[in-house]
Amino acid sequence: MFASLSQQAKRLLQAEFPDLEVDVAWERPSARDHGDCTTTVALQLAKKVGRSPKEIAQFLVDGLQNMPDVENVELAGPGYVNVRLTLPALLKELEAAMNEAKPKESKKDEGPVIIEYSQPNIAKPLGAHHIIGTAIGQALVNIYRHAGHTVIAWNYLGDYGTQFGKLSVAFSKWGTKPVEQCSVDDLLDLYVKFHEEAEQDKALEDLGRAASLRLEEGDEELRAFWKKVVAITKESLGELYRRLHVSFDLDLGESFYEDKMVPVIEEGKAKGVFVEGEKGSLIVQFPNDLYPPYLILRGDGATLYSTRDLAQMKYRMETYHPQAIFIATDIAQKLHFEQLIETCRMLGWELPEFENILFGRMRFVEKSMSTRKGNILKLEHVLDEAVERAQKVIAERGDAIQTDEPAALAEMMGVGALVYGILSQNRKMDLVFDWEKMLSFDGNSAPYLQYTHARARSVLRKAEQEVSVQGVTGVTAMAPHDRLLVNTLLQYPTALQEALDTRMPHKLANYLYQLAQDFNAFYNAESILQAEESLRKLRLALTLLTADTLRAGTALLAIQVPDRM
């Protein structure tokens, strides 16, 4: 951004300090009315060149004074250089920023980015908490793709392990109909019953473990049962993912690595990384006890979650040569991934960039949502509740909301409110769900962004004319609200980049909220359609850019916005 200003400043500095390599970056002043952009370059250089920051800043002020793009430049604070651009220059910046924020052509010459998220366990309905990782993962997939990266969106299904053994035992004891006819809820009931009964009857746990071992060994009957259960679960997941605008390229789950674990175990033993632990188990011991020992193989020979994760890492690296692997999980898995990555290093594997995309726990302000049958709060119920509440909000607002499709609008608002409720908060913190806040029309919420978008589109419909930044001419002065809005629009590419670099979708969400606020302030303070011709064109162009940015930005968060509302 502000490329010609950067060039000019660089030229000045290089003439004055010939041996210096400098880049001059411009950002938005933190006091938002202190110009269009500011640089801290004088503060950074002061030590290096042995002059005071103010001296250097003043030197830049004098040099930039007469640039044709500059309306005003001044020294501020300890050595900031604050610039106000001329209107034509500002509009040129705006065009450049909007181009920069467009989806990039896909980069063919780099490995893919693997983003793994959602990862539900089979035979259980999707729990409410699953929406957190699912929403964060999908937002990151969208943001990375938008930036031109090839992304593999991966649902690593939990389709293996002791829960199957338990389920098959429960099914043979208490099942009342063929598996094919069971819903995921029926399967959950069986699973819950298993745990209730196992509290009295300790032998059940052993039966479950034995069954899962037999499944691992290839018992045909158990395998057939397992396959049906996987199919039932996948089908029920599909509908929820559709409602959330979530989709995956792959759903290869834990079971896919069944035959890929033995070579890894052999490798680990040969390299002396896996050593014998208690009762014939295999463990990794970390140098200086960096982490607690990592269990790789149980004493009875059964493989574990960790064994599959090692095989999974190896497979992904060898098959896809990814530039990065990102795995979204709840903070409870932090240690597991630290141990996993350290083990990969000890095995001498060359890892791509890796991050365990951590997120916090979820809590509802209203107690009624916290527990239901089997201690699972089903995501489906939460989505339905959100949509019902959105319906009420729409009904209460009466004529203030205009829509031809109230049901579709309620779905968009309700689901959007939940997803935005997640994505607008720092993912590392625990999440507190507050329906009032999530569905409010004037807070940091999806309905607020949706309403603002619809408002902007409505202005554009009423204008009945071609609108574009290029078409803006002859504006001599603009109001402070115009300028603030221009400046906020200019920040869109930066917000996208920050969300990508930190893998924190809330950076984008909060930017969109700021944009919506600045648009509404502008809308309330200035006349748009009634303004004199050249200003009217400018304001309509800003309205269009706001609407387009809100739509594109929310789409990256997997949230939709209506044209009317």
CB of 309 or CB of 518, closer to ligand ARG: 309
Token duo for residue 27: 């950002």
Return d(Cα 374, Cα 544) in angstroms, integer. Answer: 49
Return d(Cα 23, Cα 40) in angstroms, integer. Answer: 11
CB-CB neighbours of 525 under 10 Å = 11
The verdict on 158 binding ligand ARG (CB under 6 A) reads yes
Least CB distance from residue 330 to ligand ARG, whole Å?
7
Token duo for residue 552: 């594109």
CB of 120 or CB of 562, closer to ligand ARG: 120
Least CB distance from residue 284 to ligand ARG, whole Å?
16
CB-CB neighbours of 470 under 10 Å = 8
Return d(Cα 364, Cα 129) in angstroms, integer. Answer: 11
Token duo for residue 156: 């690593």
The verdict on 161 binding ligand ARG (CB under 6 A) reads no
Contact of 184 with 125, CB cutoff 8 Å: yes
Return d(Cα 37, Cα 447) in angstroms, integer. Answer: 31
Residue number, nearest CB to ligand ARG: 158
Contact of 550 with 449, CB cutoff 8 Å: yes
CB of 306 or CB of 425, closer to ligand ARG: 306
Least CB distance from residue 333 to ligand ARG, whole Å?
6
CB of 80 or CB of 194, closer to ligand ARG: 194
Least CB distance from residue 159 to ligand ARG, whole Å?
9
Least CB distance from residue 263 to ligand ARG, whole Å?
18
CB of 158 or CB of 414, closer to ligand ARG: 158
Least CB distance from residue 543 to ligand ARG, whole Å?
44
Give the three-state DSSP class for 390.
helix
CB of 131 or CB of 327, closer to ligand ARG: 327
Of 74, 102, 44, the residue nearest 549 (C-alpha): 102
CB of 328 or CB of 516, closer to ligand ARG: 328
| Contact map string, positions 320 to 339, toward ligand ARG, x by CB under 6 A | -------x-x----------
DSSP secondary structure code for residue 39 in this structure: E
CB of 93 or CB of 116, closer to ligand ARG: 116
Contact of 533 with 545, CB cutoff 8 Å: no
Selected binder of ligand ARG within 2, 59, 156, 492 (CB under 6 A): 156
| Contact map string, positions 117 to 136, toward ligand ARG, x by CB under 6 A | --x-x---------------
Q: Which stretch binds ligand ARG (CB under 6 A): 113-121, 296-304, 416-424, 490-498?
A: 113-121
CB of 156 or CB of 248, closer to ligand ARG: 156
Contact of 457 with 563, CB cutoff 8 Å: yes
Chain residues 291-310 in contact with ligand ARG, contact rule CB under 6 A: 309
Chain residues 48-77 in contact with ligand ARG, contact rule CB under 6 A: none
Residues 6+ apart with CB under 8 A from 294: 283, 284, 286, 306, 339, 340, 343
Least CB distance from residue 336 to ligand ARG, whole Å?
7
CB of 63 or CB of 133, closer to ligand ARG: 133
Least CB distance from residue 367 to ligand ARG, whole Å?
25
Least CB distance from residue 133 to ligand ARG, whole Å?
8
Least CB distance from residue 130 to ligand ARG, whole Å?
8
Least CB distance from residue 157 to ligand ARG, whole Å?
7
Q: What is the enclosing helix (H) or strand (E) of 214?
A: helix 203-216
CB of 75 or CB of 327, closer to ligand ARG: 327
Q: Which stretch binds ligand ARG (CB under 6 A): 115-123, 236-244, 263-271, 510-518?
A: 115-123
Least CB distance from residue 215 to ligand ARG, whole Å?
17
Least CB distance from residue 450 to ligand ARG, whole Å?
32
Of 248, 261, 247, 255, the residue nearest 157 (C-alpha): 255
Give the three-state DSSP class for 399.
helix
Judged by CB under 6 A, the number of residues near ligand ARG is 9
DSSP 520-549: HHHHHHS-STTS-HHHHHHHHHHHHHHHHH
The verdict on 233 binding ligand ARG (CB under 6 A) reads no
Q: What is the enclosing helix (H) or strand (E) of 330?
A: strand 324-330
Q: Which stretch binds ligand ARG (CB under 6 A): 94-102, 116-124, 283-291, 517-525?
A: 116-124
Q: Name the packing angle between helices 379-397 and 220-244 (round to 10°).
A: 20
Cα dist. 517→418, 421, 498 in Å? Answer: 20, 17, 20
DSSP 76-129: ETTTEEEEEE-HHHHHHHHHHHHHHTSPPPPPTTSPPEEEE---PBTTSPPBTT
CB of 312 or CB of 452, closer to ligand ARG: 312
Contact of 143 with 508, CB cutoff 8 Å: yes
Q: Which stretch binds ligand ARG (CB under 6 A): 114-122, 378-386, 488-496, 549-557?
A: 114-122
CB of 90 or CB of 328, closer to ligand ARG: 328
Q: Rule CB under 6 A: which residues touch ligand ARG?
A: 116, 119, 121, 156, 158, 309, 312, 327, 329
